Amino acid sequence: MNKFIALASAAALAVVTSTAFAAPASGFAQGGQYTPQGPAGFSAPSANPQTVQQVLEQGYDDQRVTLVGRLTNFFGHDRYEFSDDTGRIEIELDDDRDWSFISKDELITIYGDVDRDYNSVKIDVKDARPVK
């Protein structure tokens, strides 16, 4: 009787094991192709802002941006006002660098990172080039 129970248990285990590995569970692609997808309910990050208005409305902290506009005001030390057709924003030009190749009201392209705090949005400029 003990041999019969042991044999029946082994047979039942073999059936359960073989059915568990026989077919892939739902949710996996058939044919060995795996298509990676993230969790549902999240939207893809939007494209980088192209204007001052988009930076102010959608820009997130440390986001890299490239904007075209003009330096229109000097606030002191390394802080300036940058303007384009959509608005104005404060930027910081690193005072360890020589920025003498750009001028007030000259059309320039700036490359930098958004610095969003609780109540302000600025851009830390890494590079700037006159538009040719």
Structure confidence at residue 14 (pLDDT): 62
Distance CA 130, CA 118 (A): 32
pTM of the predicted protein model? 0.66
Predicted pLDDT of residue 40: 74
Q: Indicate which CATH number applies to the domain containing 95.
A: 2.40.50.200
Instruction: Show pLDDT as tens, one digit a residue, over the chain (132 residues).
Output: 666 565 566 666 665 555 555 555 555 555 566 666 667 776 656 678 999 999 999 999 999 999 999 999 999 999 999 999 999 999 999 888 999 999 999 999 999 999 999 999 999 999 999 998
| 87 in a structural domain | yes
pLDDT at 39: 78
Range(s) of the domain holding residue 13: 2-32
- The one-letter amino acid code at 108 reads I
Do residue 28 and residue 76 come from a single domain?
Answer: no
Lookup result for tokens 């440390």: 62
Q: DSSP 3-state assignment of 72?
A: strand
Q: Which residues contact 114 (CB under 8 A, 6 or more apart)?
A: 49, 55, 59, 60, 61, 62, 63, 65, 121, 122, 123
**Residues 56, 43: contact at Cβ < 8 Å?**
no
Whether residues 78 and 23 fall in one domain = no
What's the pLDDT score for residue 42? 67
Give CA–CA dist 61/128, Å, rounded: 20
- Phi-psi category of 77—alpha, beta or left, where left has phi over 0 and alpha has psi -120 to 50? left
Comparing C-alpha atoms, which of 110, 106, 107 is closest to residue 89?
110
Domain count across the chain: 2
Q: Is residue 88 part of a domain?
A: yes
> Left if phi > 0, otherwise alpha if psi is -120 to 50, otherwise beta: which for 29?
beta
The reply to whether 38 falls in a domain is: no
Is residue 83 included in any domain, yes or no?
Answer: yes
